[in-house]
Amino acid sequence: MTIDQTLDSTDKVAVITGGSGVLCSAIAHALGQCGASVILVARTQESLDKVAADIRGKGGHAIGISADVLDKQSLESLAERVMEEFGQVDILINGAGGAKKEATTSESLSFFDLPEDAVRWVFDLNFMGTFLPCQVFSQLMVQQQSGSILNIASMGAYRPLTKSVAYSAAKAAIVNFTQWLAVHISQEYSSHIRVNAIAPGFFLTEQNRFLLTDEQTGELNERGKRIIAHTPMGRFGRPEDLVGAALMLLSDVCSFIHGTVIIVDGGFDAYGGV
């Protein structure tokens, strides 16, 4: 089997939460080009329809289905529809997540004053928004004795980001959960289901723009400039930078990679500052 053949996803069915977001939509496009049937999941149907139409416009097969990753019943309804229409689930990508200004420390909001509901919202969206889809869809993979799960962690899991307390903690939990689930699935259910994660470094998205740019000018703020200075490649990540790592981990060429987190950060983690 050649490398090109292993990246071929023809006849595979991929469910992608957070599928209308900047990062996961890039992975969705790539899977569509590799032949997979892509089910994009988020709460806003309009944004899902746009990404799905873009994928179909490039020759891929994609649909958008609105669901709430924090509502298990909503996810179970999603799973039922996927099985009715496609009969299988080969890939699950957990990309739902993000930060929130109200759960982030700043000059006007100290750690001591962070509102509990905002912190819970960020932690739940990132961690429970990964845990619950894994519960629902890995059960289907166990029934079919095959599948690959890819969680989206963050460099914040390894180097806690100043200001972003809830986000960093939740992403650290995702790393731990990825390793736990990999072991649990293999020992209890099947050695043919793999669980891995990717940890993006700094990618400029709508969810973190408030942390990295000046709201008035749009230029990088001091934090944004420090990040670039500590990234050896000298730039933020681009959505397409995640595609190679994702396709690799999801493909049969990585059939013995399990419980692993691949860092995609332009060298940020390797840089010691001198």
What is the maximal distance between C-alpha atoms in the chain? Answer: 58
**Can you give the C-alpha Rg of the chain in angstroms?**
18
Strands 61-66 and 91-94: unpaired
Instruction: Compute the distance between CA of residue 50 and CA of residue 258 in angstroms, rounded to an integer.
Output: 33
Whether 167 is catalytic: yes
Backbone angles phi, psi at 201, to 5 degrees: -80, -130
**Catalytic hit among 158, 167, 189, 271:** 167
| Other Cβ atoms closer than 10 A to 19 | 27
- Residue 35, CB-side half-sphere exposure with 13 Å CA sphere: 10
Q: What residues are annotated to the active site?
A: 167
